[in-house]
Structure 1
Amino acid sequence: MPKKIIGLLVLAVMIAIVVIGAVKNNMADSDALDGMAIGSDVDFLPTEEGLAKGEKAPDFLLTTLDGEEVKLSDYQGKKVLLNFWATWCPPCRAEMPHMQTYYDEQATDENVVILAVNLTTEDKGLGKIEDFVEEFGLEFPIPMDENGDVGALYQAVSIPTSYAIDTEGRIQNKVVGPMDETMMEQLIQELE
């Protein structure tokens, strides 16, 4: 009889752990957007690559999920929202619907480009990435960082990480954590 009681207690504890974990993940997803402010707790770390505010954003050439080449410098003259993400990242999942809504409603009207760079070396395979893009109906370019070089260059250690780049190709802001449409609008309005 005591073995059955111990077994039931162990089972109850395991169920409680799973339930608490699920609740915490749901709370983290919903609270993640509420707790972020533009530039919050983010310092630009000056490097020779040019990640300090006001410096020219380092150029890169990547191929998108659709097979098209994307070079950052080709977008000079436009406002660029450069985002780094992965499919397994809960804050990235929370952010993507907002990014798509912003893209649908305003990006094309305001001379804004969204480049959502998938950290492919950190992700779970091409199939998962394609499923993610389809699930959220993402229509903006998804450059694939297959070697991890661009994510490393842009110090995308915590994701999502986003940079607001002005029409001269200079970094004006960095956000670590998820954004919503209001934050994106504010970031873009602050660009020249």
Structure 2
Amino acid sequence: MNSRKKKAFGAIIVIVLVAVAAGTFIYQQLQKNQNTLDDDVPGYEVKADSPQSVGLGKPAPDFTLETLDGKTVTLSDLKGKKVVLNFWATWCPPCKDEMPHFQDYYEKYAKEDNAEIVAVNLTFRDRLSNVENFVESFGVTFPVLLMEDEELMETYKVYTIPSTFMINTKGEVEKQILGPLDLDTLRGYVTNLE
């Protein structure tokens, strides 16, 4: 085997080993997190003692992001309202499944429940045109924020999308949910917030 073929073969071996290691790590993380999930709801609640917990019962980490329509939203400015903070992406099938439920909730109950939905798009892994098309096709009327870098994902420990945080009127995270929510479950969470 000549040196060029040896280098190519070596590179393939390295790629395979990295892929196997990554797959093993992801599998182990999923198994570890499985012990912290509650299977009784469409989404899974992260338990307070989970390493993935952002800090249940503690103030939600503050941030300011630009919206799709060029305004800015600062989370702490919403104190006094119940906030549904949702992290999502256009390429995420469960995000597509839950978005109509979020829009239905926003139209029917948000005002009555003193609630706001804040949908943070993983724009650093998406295209702005995809976000615009998604919002238009689903008729989304609540604020869609654009996350241009990963820092906020790390702050909120968002390893799974969709991930939703239920924030009470005092600005504290009461629930952290992995996976999609339907209308009834979403409303149940919001009405139980302080």
* Counterpart in the other structure of 1:143: 145
> Tell me, what secondary structure is at the counterpart of 1:107?
coil
* Counterpart in the other structure of 2:41: 37
> Tell me, what secondary structure is at the counterpart of 1:167?
coil
Structure 1 stretches of at least 4 aligned residues deviating more than 6 Å after TM superposition: none
* Counterpart in the other structure of 1:3: none
Q: Within 1, Cα distance between the matches of 2:99 and 2:63?
A: 23
> Which letter does structure 1 place at the counterpart of 2:180?
P
Matched, 1:68 2:71: yes
Instruction: State the superposition RMSD in angstroms.
Output: 1.8
Matched, 1:88 2:95: no
Q: Within 1, Cα distance between the matches of 2:165 and 2:101?
A: 16
**Structure 1 residue 39: Cα displacement:** 6.5
Q: Within 2, Cα distance between the matches of 1:92 and 1:36?
A: 20
Which whole-Å deviations, capped at 9, do the CAs of 1:100-136 have from their partners, x for residues lacking one?
000000012211000000011122x111110000000
Matched, 1:172 2:174: yes
Q: Within 2, Cα distance between the matches of 1:40 and 1:139?
A: 26
| Count of paired positions | 155
Q: Within 2, Cα distance between the matches of 1:140 and 1:56?
A: 23
Q: For residues 1-192 of structure 1, what are the structure 2 equivalents within 5 Å?
A: 37=41, 40=44, 42-44=46-48, 51-123=54-126, 125-192=127-194
Q: Within 1, Cα distance between the matches of 2:112 and 2:192?
A: 16
The question of whether the paired residues in 2 share the 8 Å contact of 1:36 and 1:179 is answered with no
The question of whether the paired residues in 1 share the 8 Å contact of 2:43 and 2:179 is answered with no
Once the two structures are aligned, what percentage of the paired residues are identical?
44
Which whole-Å deviations, capped at 9, do the CAs of 1:4-29 have from their partners, x for residues lacking one?
xxxxxxxxxxxxxxxxxxxxxxxxxx
TM-score, normalised with respect to structure 1: 0.76
Q: Which runs of 5+ in 1 are unaligned?
A: 1-34
Q: Within 2, Cα distance between the matches of 1:65 and 1:128?
A: 12
Judged with a 3 Å threshold, the aligned counterparts in structure 2 of structure 1 residues 43 and 140 are, in CA distance, closer, same or farther, namely same
The question of whether the paired residues in 2 share the 8 Å contact of 1:38 and 1:187 is answered with no
**Structure 1 residue 151: Cα displacement:** 1.8
**Structure 1 residue 44: Cα displacement:** 3.5
Q: Which runs of 5+ in 2 are unaligned?
A: 1-38
Q: Within 1, Cα distance between the matches of 2:179 and 2:50?
A: 20
Judged with a 3 Å threshold, the aligned counterparts in structure 2 of structure 1 residues 175 and 41 are, in CA distance, closer, same or farther, namely closer
> Tell me, what secondary structure is at the counterpart of 1:82?
strand
